[in-house]
Structure 1
Amino acid sequence: MSMEAEAGDAPRHGGSWAPGKVAEMLGVSPVTLRTWNARYGAGPTLRADGRHRRYSDADVRRLRHMQRLIERGMRAREAAAAVFSGAGETTRREAVPGLVAELTRAAGALHFGSLAALLDEALLDMGAAATWTEVLAPILREFGRRWQCGDVCFASEWALTSETSLALERHSVRFADPAPGRVVLLACCPGERHTLPMEVLRAALAERGVPAVFLGPMASPETIAAMASTLDPRPALLWSTSPATVDDPLRQRLAHQGVTVEPAGSGWGHLADRGLTGVDTLTGALDLVAAHQETPRTGNRCTIAPNT
């Protein structure tokens, strides 16, 4: 979030929020927050120093979910029980098929406002990674299947992907300035236009307090090399979904600059015989970034499947 945070308010280690900041984010008084904790067990789960508890990102998402249930007419005690007793997770899993259907209908009808609202709520409730793997990737795979069957659904797919990009941007800026650390650089191979997985990864890193810069599509090799040289990232992920857009000379150029570079995306698979192996899930990519952030490493390994 591009604003200064008061001391003690900024998240640390992937989201560690002071109660006062959480109350501000939810638009409630600190007294209300303490009441929810005392009466319903809707409190923080992290211990910062053995005495003071802090709220995790998941805690905040659950509180937002609780608020929405209250706004829809549910009593506070019932809403807290649904969200914090474990029933909330079951409710979420049960709600996913309905959310998938609603988003598909909204995309088909080109209802951009509905798409925006549904995506904002999903990201708040589930986080970026789960929204991608449980909701968006299945819809995009279904659009792909329909394309193969001759159902031209370009407008629907475009509506969903464009609104998803905007929603991910809105979601990312909800988080305060990231904890100090070397930045992660997310770049696409020149010519690569399928960028959503990288945008999801950036949002998931923002939730965890990891500083990341995403260069977007169509950045030139010179721009990527200059940014990598200036930022000294750990690591730089170079994204490609197809062998046709892979730019291995650019990967080698970054490596020769001393940049820790990881090829990312299924496009790199044809180079596996050269030792470019690695993770193929979003969770694995997050783990890879965490390992780089904690301990400097060398070597080029990482592929992230576009539908994971």
Structure 2
Amino acid sequence: MNSGAGGTETRQPALWTPGRVARLLGVSPITLRSWDARYGIGPSVRVQGRQRRYSDSDVARLRRMRQLIDEGVRTREAALAVRGSAGGALAPGSGLELEEATEELRLATMATALDESLAAEGAASTWQNVAAPVLRSLGTRWERGEECFAIEWGLAAEISAALNRHTYARGPARTVGSVLLAPCPGEHHVLPLEVLRAALAERGVAAVFTGAPAGRVMTLDLADRLDPAAVLLWAMTTATADTGLAGTLAARGRTVYLAGPGWNPATTELTVVNDLDSALDVLPLNDRSAGDL
């Protein structure tokens, strides 16, 4: 068919949606976005009123990059190879690096990314800017009906392990006079407590974490035996917020703080903290935790 004055047809280049490219390459759209953000290997065509599209040449580069990765080339080197550049160094321990490794369940890479971020930025920043955003992204996908249990488990496990390494690298934990961090009975979402313990360790504050699940009897017994400077009770939901346990601890003379979205400040006289910074502000800074090991 002819068109235009010259009698020749102008062929429009093929445009690929991110979803179609992801299926072609056998990766997730999240991985495509991370490659674009980190390496500049992304869609080059802007369509008015719509998201960017991949051209045939964009797809060819990505297919070559995927081939190199399958052959054992690291993602960064594969990206640099298809770009034809030796530059473009990547920031270690970034959220994008963690997201990409999580998507492909590369546990060793996840551990390295977390360790590097913790060493460079500390526990609070690593949690807020690197780990938690990836967890929230997985939570959103789960709510949409996507099956991502395996990678969510892998990420949570590696975050916990990295926080433990970071905490214990700062010396042995003290017990007497420490801060006791305890989830309420039935509470299994305890990563925020592990983050808090690591952040306290960075400040030289001794903290004992009970782990999960922690029953009422065990928490009360630990409080009696360890004589902590403070007890922080964590509840993710109203269903697990145990006001009875909090009241018993307070009645026994313990300084008690309540943390997590499960607590309602209007229904308690105890101090409720809703974020990491607030918890670090109110907890004792080693007044009593500098004693014997």
Find the aligned partners of 1:167 and 1:251 in 2 and give their Cα distance.
30
Select the structure of larger CA radius of gyration: 2
Bigger fraction of residues in helix: 1
Find the aligned partners of 1:119 and 1:186 in 2 and give their Cα distance.
22
CA RMSD of aligned residues (A): 2.2
**1:151 equivalenced with 2:137 (yes/no):** no
Contact 1:185/1:236 (<8 A) preserved: yes
Count of residue pairs brought into register by the alignment = 199
Given residue 279 of structure 1, which amino acid in structure 2 is its aligned partner?
V
State the TM-score, normalizing by the size of structure 1: 0.60
Shift of 1:247: 1.2
The aligned residue for residue 127 of structure 2 is 132
- After superposition, the C-alpha distances for 1:184-229 in whole angstroms (9 at most, x for unaligned) are 0000111100010000000111111111100000122111001001
Shift of 1:178: 6.6
Contact 1:181/1:210 (<8 A) preserved: no
Find the aligned partners of 2:137 and 2:131 in 1 and give their Cα distance.
10
**SS of 2:239's equivalent?**
helix
Find the aligned partners of 1:188 and 1:179 in 2 and give their Cα distance.
20
CA gap of 1:179–1:275, structure 2 versus 1, over 3 A, is: closer
CA gap of 1:273–1:249, structure 2 versus 1, over 3 A, is: closer
Shift of 1:173: 1.1
Contact 1:229/1:259 (<8 A) preserved: no
Find the aligned partners of 1:279 and 1:233 in 2 and give their Cα distance.
18
Which region of structure 1 is more displaced relative to structure 2, 233-242 or 255-264? 255-264
Aligned with 2:217 (options 215, 219, 222):
222
CA gap of 1:129–1:192, structure 2 versus 1, over 3 A, is: same
**SS of 1:101's equivalent?**
helix
Stretches of structure 1 that go unaligned for 5 or more consecutive residues are: 1-93, 296-308
Given residue 216 of structure 1, which amino acid in structure 2 is its aligned partner?
G
Shift of 1:100: 1.4
Find the aligned partners of 1:123 and 1:143 in 2 and give their Cα distance.
21
The aligned residue for residue 103 of structure 1 is 98
Contact 1:243/1:267 (<8 A) preserved: yes
**SS of 1:191's equivalent?**
coil
Contact 2:184/2:234 (<8 A) preserved: yes
- After superposition, the C-alpha distances for 1:210-261 in whole angstroms (9 at most, x for unaligned) are 1110000012211100100111212100111001111111111111211111
Aligned with 2:258 (options 259, 263, 266):
263
Q: Which of structure 1's runs of 4+ aligned residues deviate more than 4 A? A: 177-181
Shift of 1:283: 1.2
The aligned residue for residue 114 of structure 2 is 119
